[in-house]
Amino acid sequence: MKRMNLLQKALLTVFVVLAFTFKVNAQQQSLFSQYMNNMLTINPAYVGSQKALSLTAVAREQWIGLDGAPSTQTFSAHLPIERKNIGVGMMLTNDRIGVTKQNGVAFSYAYKIKMLGGELSMGIKGGFINYSIIYSDISETDPSFQEGNVSEVHPDIGLGLYFNTNKFYLGLSAPQITLSEKETNDIRPESALIPHYFIQGGYVFDINPDLKLKPSFMTKIVEGAPIEVDINANVYLRDLVGLGVSWRSMDAVVLLGQVQITNRLQFGYAYDITTTDVRQVSAGSHEIFLNYRIPISKSKIITPRYF
């Protein structure tokens, strides 16, 4: 029994090291399965698109059962200022993976133009990320882990384009475009922020008065990592309940659920079924989403929102 426990610990250590190396060095932008319900996480031009003050909280626990697995929480708020054709917003992020931690705050601004039966939004984001690596958390007694902790603050700048109608959206964004540290002798510092690029889109089809289908996609491009593609399909029943499935390349199949509790309050849940070798030591990933919208004028809130 002791040998088995030691073997399990060794396997966990290998998986964690490999996962952290890939995550920290290649994909620092937080991962979300329900990004299509809150695209402010990947596109600053999304601010103000819901025609109300939109408040969103997301909590994600990845790779349940694996010590030190990613844990992410965000809170965002955004609204339109219609007389000036702009949108403004902010987002707070807390992301921890093993001994690495990122805490960030970002403010977004978007200018909007009515065109082609919809709205084109051009957005910019500015803020900062506090990045830290706490090596001392690995061992409280081993002196080799008591020194060398990293704690740095870096600028966080992003750009985006977002076009949408009541049925369609298409976006192009780079929510993290700053390479915060210069490479020395072809070696990049551990805390360097790596640019990320996203393409996202979707369309809502009316099958009948009680049933709608929304296929959507997202493509993510990160230096030093394979191109990642998300393909999603959601059905909406009487505009009250949404059910869907996503496929994330080289990572997971995701089951999605969504409930329009009231005209203002929406709840979502996602369960990731890992398709990589991590599934041998993990029970999958859980993510919850909560959105509340407050009218800012006498105009009626559009319910439900499909994106």
| Domain definitions of the chain by residue range | 33-295
Q: pLDDT exceeding 70 applies to what percent of the chain?
A: 79
52 vs 188, residue with greater confidence: 52
Report which DSSP code applies to 45: G
Residue 115 pLDDT: 93
Residues 74 and 294: their CA atoms lie apart, in Å, by 19
Q: How large is the average pLDDT for residues 191-211?
A: 89
Q: Is a pLDDT exceeding 70 seen at residue 54? A: yes
Residues 243 and 234: their CA atoms lie apart, in Å, by 5
Residues 96 and 175: their CA atoms lie apart, in Å, by 19
pTM here is 0.83
The first and second tokens of residue 205, run together, are 């089809």
Residue 162 pLDDT: 98
The first and second tokens of residue 166, run together, are 């009541």
Q: Which CATH class is domain 33-295?
A: mainly beta
- CA torsion through residues 278, 243, 35, 43, sign: positive
Bridge partners for 79 per DSSP: 88
Residue 23 pLDDT grade (very low, low, confident, very high; cuts 50, 70, 90): very low
Q: How large is the average pLDDT for residues 97-105?
A: 90
Residues 283 and 69: their CA atoms lie apart, in Å, by 12
